[in-house]
Structure 1
């Protein structure tokens, strides 16, 4: 796929990794439809994409709400007249041990709310957006690409029962979709980042972040730009589908 002039949706596109990926694609001439919950952050991201050389529009939507997702995707097609790809990036953290014990006493359990909030955004949101993206590409007769942002934690990580389960799920969905949608000319893949220098990483405990960085063979965090470059590779390589690229600097949990 030549990205110049192509319409790409990025969920969670107003900030962090989503915004960086959008800017990378904008520099290749892509038109970005950025979905997020913050108008202020979306407006900033739109201006950065335009400055990079691409067009961009902002959409306020909650990816966990089916009606929101359907109406937003309809509006994107109406605004741009086309639909070529999506990066399912929106995600949240609600870390916690399954059972926390102190001095032999159980002091906390991972709550159902902490479980459900992460599953709703990180897994159900990807399902809804991926489904609506595929439907519109098929209806328009357009060969397109779906990229799900998974994580190194998909293999399982302490304190991330909810997040690990969701990120394993979005990786599996990408492979399933690649097999189902190839007949329509739609490719599907996932990227599993390791520790990337974003606000989400900055929210981690400093000692945990330092230990993870030290454990990576490259001894550093990845950059959002490096993830953006990987997205561009998947879009541009028409023989790539059904695989997960691990962008983790060689780190293994």
Structure 2
């Protein structure tokens, strides 16, 4: 597929990587419908980019957004499943001073799974339903997994969601092949976004020091992988790690 032919949804697209993806597709002549919970950031997107509030963890929101996006763009042939949140904590932690034992809260588990996995799955389901109903082909889905999907301390919820997305990229590529829809995934390492900018500086420095290429990634680094998946019609069912060689 060519970027100029895209009529694509980008979730979590009000800032960070999602906003960068939307901007690049818009610049290439494609149509983009951006969804995000942050209405203030949505309003700041460039003219010509469709935008509407979207909570991917809300099933009705997802259904309504996909219907709206299809109408706004006069069709729908793609999805970049980018929306995600962090609620990091050890599953079980013992305070070294007080001896108090703390647990990852069920609320934090459910919040991350709700957005990063259930929400992503709902988006795929509704987008593909619309594409099949309208016999739209070819089509492409790009899931945003993570290099942390193999396991990362303090991220049981996040790892579970991102590992499942990578696995379902294979599942969905096989299920949707008869409809002419490809599915790929990108697994970013540490990327310069508002999410990572809020990290503890000491922890951030330690992580950057462990990246063999010697720097934190930029949204453009991830965009190159997304662009490849969109444009390479022989790519399907695989996850591309873009992490500077960082071994989580």
TM category, shorter: over 0.9
Aligned length: 246
TM-score when normalising by structure 2: 0.96
Cα deviation, residue 56, structure 1: 1.4
Q: Which moved more, 1:103-112 or 1:241-250?
A: 103-112
Could you say what the CA RMSD is over the residues aligned between the two structures, in angstroms? 1.1
Distance 2:6 2:117 in 1: 26
Question: Contact 1:24–1:229 (CA<8 Å) still a contact in 2?
Answer: no
Map 1:85-100; keep pairs closer than 5 Å: 85-100=78-93
Cα deviation, residue 175, structure 1: 1.1
Aligned to 1:111: 105
Distance 1:119 1:149 in 2: 14
TM-score when normalising by structure 1: 0.94
CA displacement, residues 136-172 of structure 1 (integer Å, 9 cap, x when unaligned): 1111212200111011110110110101111101111
Map 1:60-75; keep pairs closer than 5 Å: 60-75=53-68
Question: Contact 1:144–1:185 (CA<8 Å) still a contact in 2?
Answer: yes
Question: Contact 1:22–1:228 (CA<8 Å) still a contact in 2?
Answer: no
Residue 94 (structure 2) aligned to one of 90, 93, 101:
101
Question: Contact 1:91–1:122 (CA<8 Å) still a contact in 2?
Answer: yes
Distance 1:107 1:21 in 2: 42
- Structure 2: segments with no counterpart, 5+ residues: none
Question: Contact 1:99–1:106 (CA<8 Å) still a contact in 2?
Answer: no
Aligned partner of residue 186 in structure 2, secondary structure: strand
Cα deviation, residue 105, structure 1: 2.1
Aligned to 1:144: 139
CA displacement, residues 92-114 of structure 1 (integer Å, 9 cap, x when unaligned): 00000111112372331100001
